[in-house]
Amino acid sequence: MGEWSDYFEDFPEENPANWVNGKFDPQLREQLNREAAQQAVANLEVRQLIMNAKRDRKAKALFDTAVCPQCGEHKLNSYRISETFYLCECQECGIYGAGATHDDAVAKTADSIGEGLDWRDGSLY
């Protein structure tokens, strides 16, 4: 690995990473890499803001905790996100379900037993 980096130091035009759209331009490549890194940080910050907002919203919308139909732990949270959007999420095993009513959301959660769902991998909300 050291051999290639030494070689590219001596012959930067041979390094494919220094080319942009078929043109040798290590400064532009460096700028593009820097911008891409800044964009990645910005995206991460936006994602964090959205996650925090959803967590706060859920904290306010939580109205019930029951026994989970999948793992049996008393950790199935029910949220009333809006008048027609109810959500159940187990804090233990991750199973979830949603519906227009609380009964729909509970039924949907029970229907998902064994499907390996985990709301922490990307919930409906």
Positions in the binding site for Zn ion (CB under 5 A):
68, 70-71, 90, 92-93
Distance CA 57, CA 51 (A): 10
Q: How far is the CB of 66 from Zn ion (least distance, A)?
A: 10
With 0-12 / 13-18 / 19 or more C-beta atoms within 10 angstroms meaning exposed / middle / buried, residue 60 is exposed
Q: Which is nearer to Zn ion, 93 or 98 (CB)?
A: 93
Q: Which is nearer to Zn ion, 61 or 93 (CB)?
A: 93
Q: Which is nearer to Zn ion, 45 or 92 (CB)?
A: 92
With 0-12 / 13-18 / 19 or more C-beta atoms within 10 angstroms meaning exposed / middle / buried, residue 124 is middle
Q: How far is the CB of 90 from Zn ion (least distance, A)?
A: 3
Q: How far is the CB of 82 from Zn ion (least distance, A)?
A: 24
